Amino acid sequence: MTMAQFVSDPTPLQSMQHERFTVKLHAYVLFDLSLSLSGNIAISGQDNRSTFIDLYYGKHSDSRYRFKLFYSKEFQKCTDDLAQRRCVSFLEKDGSKVVTCSGDRIEVIDTKHESRVLKSCRVNGETSCLTVREGEIFVAINGSQTVIVLDHDLRKTKNVTLKAIKYGDCPYDLQVVKDTTYVCTIKHLALADSDYGIVTDYRDTTGKYRQAFSITVSEKLGLIAVLWGGIVRGGNRIIVYTLTENKSLLVVDVESAVARIRFSGRDRMMITGNEKTGEVKLYDLSHLFTYEHLKEHLVSELRNKDCRKLALDLCPASKASILKSISPALALLRVLEREAIIKETDMDTLADALVKINLSCHSIVDIYQKIRPGYKPKQTYAELKEDMKEKEGAWDDQRKQLRKELEDLKMHSAAKIQALERKLETEVTESTKKMSAIMEQLEQTKLEPDQTQEQNVNFIRGIDRPNQKRTVS
């Protein structure tokens, strides 16, 4: 196992003071943290009378993260027991739904519509912690080796028995990646228990701490971190390990009241939560694991035979001088830097060479690259093929959608033409009727002037002969 590099006093990228903890009337305690894929943060905890959930929007602007409270809810405790904790985890990446547990109750809450409880259920026992992974909810039970697995509708799908946990112990913090469950237990052990019976027991490589308080895993970055503590005088310590080889990569000293740690693989961040002050700090992993740290790891990892192979592949002209030096690994790295084969922002050539000769330290270089800002990983043939398959599926869906829209347009056009024909026919009929009525009026108009003229002539004749007597025959 490699010697981890120390960062004794790390500077956080951002620090957020939890508003609730500024109220002096309540002795709040932060217990759980959760991060959504969109960067939102969920905080849960309790005081003597109630438990709470607070959700914050997290937005990156001007090289800083801005947090804004968008949801807050308190729950009354059934008892005054401070040990009754509340855990929380996001179900949706935009923070619209969360799952929470406290006591024997589990609830799914819609945070967008007046805190509506969508689903709820009770379990046999007291919940100790929970996590969410790919549509499944994992809930640990206090004093039990069993983890209950539920779907989003809180229907039980299966039980997972953690064989690594001894009788009387149970998970205190829980993370799940694929078929492996990572836990910190009530008795402060850090374990990984897979479905295949493979158990990993994590230790403090510095030999100072023996109590594990929190655990977090990033499959995307290939990292696992454990929060160690228990020293009366002095702070806590975060040790970051590689996920594949379980090598200790980095040691970060933090405050003694830090109770939870979480990775955010989306933006290469690690966050910590202080149980006493409620303060949440964000650390940029690229600031913690630097280029100098990487070189120190490589110097401790590379053996003389490894340096010989790498020199032959990358800088054959300098092979002899490299192997004659006191530290061939350090000499190799200096030559590679001088010839610009490796740079702080580009380790691709060295990474390919390490994979080619099958050296395990390539995972450290891979992690270093992944946490660099703006890093875009190279796609393998299988990944490219899968990506092409996904794109073809998307294109096929688009073609189907266009065909449907075209058919709808044709049907709509045909219906529109028929409607226009019916309207035209109606208008022609109405016009014909109107023309007939006009013709009838015109015929009547032709007759009316003659009758009037005859009446006028008779009238005039009557005026000219007013005194003419009628002859009686």
Q: What pLDDT is stored for residue 136 in this prediction?
A: 92
Does residue 69 lie within any of the structural domains? Answer: yes
The answer to whether residue 448 is domain-embedded is: no
Segments of 234-307 assigned E as strands: 236-242, 248-254, 258-264, 269-274, 280-284
* 329 and 205 fall within a common domain: no
Q: What is the pLDDT of residue 471?
A: 47
DSSP 228: E
Verify that 133 and 88 share a domain, yes or no.
yes
Residue 33 lies in a domain: yes
267 near 247, Cβ under 8 Å?
no
Same domain, 263 and 313: no
Q: What per-residue confidence (pLDDT) applies to 470? A: 46
- The closest of 249, 349, 244, 335 to 300, measured between CA atoms, is 249
Tell me, what's the pLDDT at 331? 94
pLDDT in tens, 418-451: 888 888 888 888 888 888 887 877 777 765 555 5
Same domain for 126 and 217:
yes
User: What residues make up the domain containing 342?
Assistant: 293-370
* Residue 411 maps to a domain: no
Taking residue 335's Cβ as centre, other Cβ atoms within 10 Å add up to: 20
Of 264, 288, 312, which closes a domain?
Answer: 288
**Residue 208 shares a structural domain with residue 340:** no
Q: Are residues 138 and 231 in the same domain?
A: yes
Of 288, 305, 328, the position where a domain reaches its end is 288
If asked whether residues 258 and 196 sit together in one domain, one would say yes
- Other C-beta atoms closer than 10 Å to the C-beta of 323 total 15
Q: Which of 226, 261, 288 is the last residue of a domain?
A: 288
Domain assignment present for residue 405? The answer is no
Looking at the fold, whether 261 and 365 belong to one and the same domain comes out as no
List the pLDDT tens digit at each of the 473 positions of the chain.
455 667 766 888 888 887 788 776 568 889 999 988 888 899 999 888 889 999 988 776 555 667 888 888 998 876 555 567 899 999 877 778 999 999 899 999 998 876 788 999 999 989 999 999 888 999 999 989 889 999 999 999 999 988 888 888 889 999 999 889 999 998 888 888 887 777 888 888 777 888 899 999 999 899 999 999 876 567 889 999 998 888 888 899 999 899 999 998 677 889 999 999 899 999 989 889 999 999 999 999 999 999 999 999 999 999 999 999 999 999 999 999 999 999 998 899 999 999 998 888 888 999 999 998 877 766 666 766 777 777 777 777 777 888 888 788 778 888 888 888 888 888 888 888 888 887 877 777 765 555 555 555 555 555 555 455 444 43
What is d(CA 164, CA 69) in angstroms, rounded to the nearest whole number? 39
Is 224 in the same domain as 301? no
Q: Please name the residues in contact with 379: beta carbons below 8 A apart, sequence gap of 6 or more.
A: 387
Give me the number of domains the chain comprises. 2
CATH number reported for the structural domain that contains residue 253 in this entry: 2.120.10.30
Quote the pLDDT of residue 388.
Answer: 76
Q: Quick check: is 363 in a domain? A: yes
Confirm whether 399 is domain-assigned: no
Q: Which tokens belong to 95?
A: 């923070």
What pTM was computed for the model?
0.76
Q: Give the pLDDT of residue 450.
A: 53
Residue 127 shares a structural domain with residue 270: yes
The residue type at 187:
K
Structural domain contains residue 211: yes
Note whether 288 and 250 are within 8 A (CB). yes
CB burial of residue 446 (10 Å; 0-12, 13-18, 19+): exposed
For helices 362-370 and 291-301, give the axis angle rounded to 10 degrees.
170
Cβ 74 vs Cβ 63: under 8 Å: no
Q: Does 243 share its domain with 347?
A: no
Any residues with CB less than 8 A from the CB of 323 and at least 6 apart, and which?
304, 307, 308, 311
* 261 and 167 part of one domain: yes
